[in-house]
Structure 1
Amino acid sequence: MRRAYAALLALCLGLFGALASAGPAQAAPQTITNGTQFKDTSGNPVHAHGGGVLKVGSYYYWFGEHRNADNTFRYVDAYRSTDLKNWEFRNHVLTEASDPELATANIERPKVMYNASTGKFVMWMHKENGTDYSEARAAVAVSDTVDGNYTWKGSFRPLGQHMSRDITVFVDTDGAGYMISAARENYDLQIYRLTADYTGIASLVANPWPGGHREAPALFKRGGVYFMLTSGATGWNPNQQQYATATSIGGPWSAMRNIGDATTYGSQTAFVLPVQGTSGTSYLYLGDRWGNSFGGTVNDSRYVWLPLNFSNSTTMSMSWSPEVTVDTAAGTVTGTSATYNTLIARHSAKCADVTSQSLWAGAQLKQYACNGGSNQKYWFKSVGGGYYQLAVRNSSLCVRENASTLTQENCDASATSQQWSLTTTGSYVNVKSRATGECLDVNGASTADSAALITYTCNGGTNQQWTRGT
């Protein structure tokens, strides 16, 4: 009996030890809404702007900018996740107080790499003086742990002479480390090999596109081919992004080719993350929709994450999806297919429009001459039971009924004030609020631009009849 008890106890202790040493449970697939401000597991905004991601064990660690209210540097924040949706805040890994040089600095685009030979985590970033962009320096900090406090090692111009602004890093399959940064007032994009410990510049490897005026670099490798994804240099405003390829990091590199639409869906490159799992490896574009581009600050920025697709070894494409489903266990990334429609009032032939193309919650809906703008396009997303949310293409926010107005707000699938039913009669549709049973209506049957959209008792009026255009 004692022998059986001892065996059972040993088995239990063995199971307990295995559980105690095991990593996090395998992550389930998660769907991420695009063009929104992410929240961490405590409900606070994720401040990882201009950031990068490093996988350590079963966790993905996301580092990025966290600014003061006046848009100056405050922290580099670190978060971790197993599924790329649920992010746990870990630490302010670099702060204004980390070194006297940081007290008046501006820090942008922090990227962290792991050096297997030294066992150190090395952060590279773009450093300015906090007042303007005249310093154009690279900077380095190191830590013994991925989300510990990083020790500031200083800032400098690469090789003592080259300007260095937007920055990224890359560790090749042979362990060699590289830093890529915009130089010569962003007219050059230079590739540097790092020293063996990744904390210094060993040599300039290539300047493949002199005069190209590119920034926001992201470098990754797929099947022996290097891909460099970049944006144009238009400040905070989004533009047409481009990419180039090479079979050697030193070149020759191809010419740049366009990817995505003319504004890259309102975003700028931050990083490209390989997501590796049992079904292979997918590549996820991580972009910032900068708050500065729509009247806010860096801390107001939102995230645009999209799957990258490859038709052959050197051709890459990217399309808009309002949602992305990521399965980190399988290594798959898929975009949700969505059809966007305009809503055209029968009486005025004008479109339901989010005023001033605003991206802010609380912006009012009015009617305006149809112009093809993404602030006049809506995804009718089913929430079940014959009801839909109306998600605005421009902002990724949802149409909400208020007492006297319609506004766009953060989407909440449980809010009946954001749920609408559709009743089709002939060529026209009535759009009815679930909350009140009232119909989408142009106030006073006005035909003027900027007439308010409201809800009103359904009465069959032509100002309550809508055509769903494409």
Structure 2
Amino acid sequence: MLRRAIIRMLVAGTALIPLLTVGPSAHAAPVTVTNATQFPDTDGNPVQAHGGGVIKVGSAYYWFGENRHANNDFKAVSVYRSTDLKTWEFRRDVLTQASDPELALAGIERPKVIYNSSTGKFVMWMHKEAKGGDYKEARAAVAVSDTVDGDYDWQGSFRPPSGTTSRDQTLFKDDDGTAYQISSGDGNADLIIYRLNADYTGYAADVTPVNPWDGRFREAPALFKRNGVYFMLTSGNSGWEPNQQQYATARNINGPWTSMSSVGGPTAYGSQTAFVLPVQGTSGTSYLYMGDRWGNSGLINGTVNDSQYVWLPLSFPTATTMVLPWYPQVSIDTEAGTVKGVGGGPHYTLAARHSGKCVDISDNSANNSVAALQYTCNGGLNQQWRTIDAGGGYVSVLAQHSGKCLEVGGSSTADGAAVKQYPCNYGAGGDHQDWLFQDQGNGHFRLVNRNSGKCLDVTGASVADGAQLIQYTCGSGANQQFKRTAV
């Protein structure tokens, strides 16, 4: 049984607030988590917490998510506990088909839990469909519990006040205790922010929902707040197949919101957003992207319970911009509050010999066709590059911040054609993305494009920040020579 005690809790996206809890109190050592794998629990079984979210109670993190039968039907919302975000102890199935008659024939997705300090209740919201996954009900549903990992009492399911659909969804609790549900509506065309009532079990009756993304067809929302800025991270609609994640920001949750910008690789490295977890510790707060690599996708060709996890560090070049780089592993120190990428290298900077400035993707953008340019070297991920063998001595050159490839725009063979970033083709008609590093001595190289035979060049031999990278007939100029330095 739980005993009442005043402690401090971090709820994702909120300030620390008092609540009731028990659980592990020992300090956690740094750990390394391997991506694109099934995570084991302490009994050696795969963690089944898909489409889920995390709440911190005391020193422990509780991870809630979908657990399915072999035929993909709903089995349970399961919860796991950890202090280090790697060693996961299965606690229990907190909501099952037997919890309520309505659940016997239900499909449950994307459960999220927040704590209400006024009522002393843990409140779970989720997306409910009929058993079999026809996605016609499109209802929100609520369950509550007195303890974080106890049985959750089913409160029922319903449509939002406007009567629109509610499918992929998440919860967010703001610094002042106000809570919100964000869900895709109008058949996934809209992404709507709903303020919740005081006990978090329904929609606020006196507040008009906010729909900043009318007709944008976004799903898998994850909302978090960093230094007073709200970030909305979402995916597009492509069934079980991964796609380009995008994000928007605002200074007020009701807007105005910026337009959506791409972040990470064109398929989020084979994943879809589930949650963003702030990891707060003695050295500050880091932000962990939690994604699902769905078992039903063509990447795995299995079931939901065959799904793998992709966890990555989010970084923030400015207060309102975000970068999602790929690493095969992630190092997490919950005591310090640090989340860092591991491996995937080596990574290089490419500095133009004539100017000493680095090959850079403009504004840290992950959007397609954004220009490559030179800029004062600053250590940014948009100035870090890794290579993948493309055969015949050629390599693909990938921007670390976006996972996209350096290419000659339009497969042009003309002098002066702009060099940009674009999703990698990896040899499938992608000669314009293949580069040969020709040694020019003293650690400098010319980068020769396979498609055109022309060299990467800083236009006009400019030494200015922002000068465009182009291709040009190869010569001996220092503006066509780049020093490759391992980061």
Show the counterpart of 1:439: none
**Corresponding residue to 1:263 among 253, 262, 267:** 267
Residue 187 of structure 1 pairs with residue 241 of structure 2:
no
Show the counterpart of 1:443: none
Amino acid at match of 2:210: A
Tell me the CA shift for residue 52 of structure 1.
0.2
Deviations 1:128-175 (A, max 9, x none): 011310000000000000000101000000115121000000000000
Measured in 2, the distance between the counterparts of 1:258 and 1:239 equals: 10
Measured in 2, the distance between the counterparts of 1:334 and 1:105 equals: 39
Residue 229 of structure 1 pairs with residue 219 of structure 2:
no
TM norm structure 2: 0.66
Deviations 1:85-112 (A, max 9, x none): 0000001000000011111110000000
Amino acid at match of 1:315: T
Amino acid at match of 2:321: T
Tell me the CA shift for residue 25 of structure 1.
1.2
Contact 1:287 1:303 in 2 (8 A): yes
Measured in 2, the distance between the counterparts of 1:254 and 1:37 equals: 35
Tell me the CA shift for residue 204 of structure 1.
3.6
Show the counterpart of 1:293: 297
Show the counterpart of 1:281: 285
Distance 1:23 1:134, change over 3 A: closer
Deviations 1:11-56 (A, max 9, x none): xxxxxxxxxx995210000000001000001100000000000000
Show the counterpart of 2:341: 335
Show the counterpart of 2:77: 76
Mapping for residues 155-194 of structure 1, pairs under 5 Å: 155-159=157-161, 161-194=163-196
Amino acid at match of 2:312: L
Show the counterpart of 1:62: 63
Mapping for residues 302-313 of structure 1, pairs under 5 Å: 302-313=308-319
Mapping for residues 339-418 of structure 1, pairs under 5 Å: 339=345, 372=426
Deviations 1:291-336 (A, max 9, x none): 0003111000000000000011100001100000000000000001
Show the counterpart of 2:243: 239
Show the counterpart of 2:327: 321
User: Percent of aligned positions with the same letter in both sequences?
Assistant: 67
Measured in 2, the distance between the counterparts of 1:79 and 1:373 equals: 42
SS in 1 for 2:297: helix
**Corresponding residue to 2:217 among 194, 213, 220:** 213
Amino acid at match of 1:172: D
Deviations 1:189-247 (A, max 9, x none): 00000000000001343100110000000000000000000000111100000000000
Distance 1:373 1:260, change over 3 A: farther
Amino acid at match of 1:176: T
Distance 1:208 1:345, change over 3 A: closer
Measured in 2, the distance between the counterparts of 1:232 and 1:316 equals: 18
Contact 1:191 1:204 in 2 (8 A): no
| Larger Rg, first or second structure (1 or 2) | 1
Tell me the CA shift for residue 372 of structure 1.
2.0
Distance 1:371 1:224, change over 3 A: closer
Contact 1:121 1:142 in 2 (8 A): yes
Show the counterpart of 2:199: 197
Distance 1:204 1:44, change over 3 A: farther
Measured in 1, the distance between the counterparts of 2:130 and 2:254 equals: 32
Show the counterpart of 1:389: none
Measured in 2, the distance between the counterparts of 1:27 and 1:205 equals: 40
Amino acid at match of 1:306: L
Deviations 1:334-386 (A, max 9, x none): 0013237767899xx9xxxxxxxxxxxxxxxxxxxx97279xxxxxxxxxxxx
SS in 1 for 2:67: strand
Distance 1:316 1:343, change over 3 A: closer
Show the counterpart of 1:361: none
Residue 31 of structure 1 pairs with residue 46 of structure 2:
no
Contact 1:195 1:201 in 2 (8 A): yes
Number of paired residues? 335
Mapping for residues 104-183 of structure 1, pairs under 5 Å: 104-131=105-132, 132-159=134-161, 161-183=163-185
Measured in 1, the distance between the counterparts of 2:162 and 2:144 equals: 21
Distance 1:276 1:373, change over 3 A: farther
Amino acid at match of 1:159: P
Amino acid at match of 1:319: P
Contact 1:114 1:121 in 2 (8 A): yes
Amino acid at match of 2:311: W
SS in 1 for 2:201: coil
SS in 2 for 1:36: coil
Amino acid at match of 2:227: G
Contact 2:25 2:58 in 1 (8 A): no
Unaligned runs of 5+ in 2: 1-21, 346-385, 395-423, 429-487
Spell out structure 1 runs of 4+ moving beyond 6 A: 343-346
Measured in 1, the distance between the counterparts of 2:194 and 2:308 equals: 30
Measured in 1, the distance between the counterparts of 2:212 and 2:232 equals: 11
Distance 1:72 1:188, change over 3 A: same
Measured in 2, the distance between the counterparts of 1:184 and 1:229 equals: 19
SS in 1 for 2:141: strand
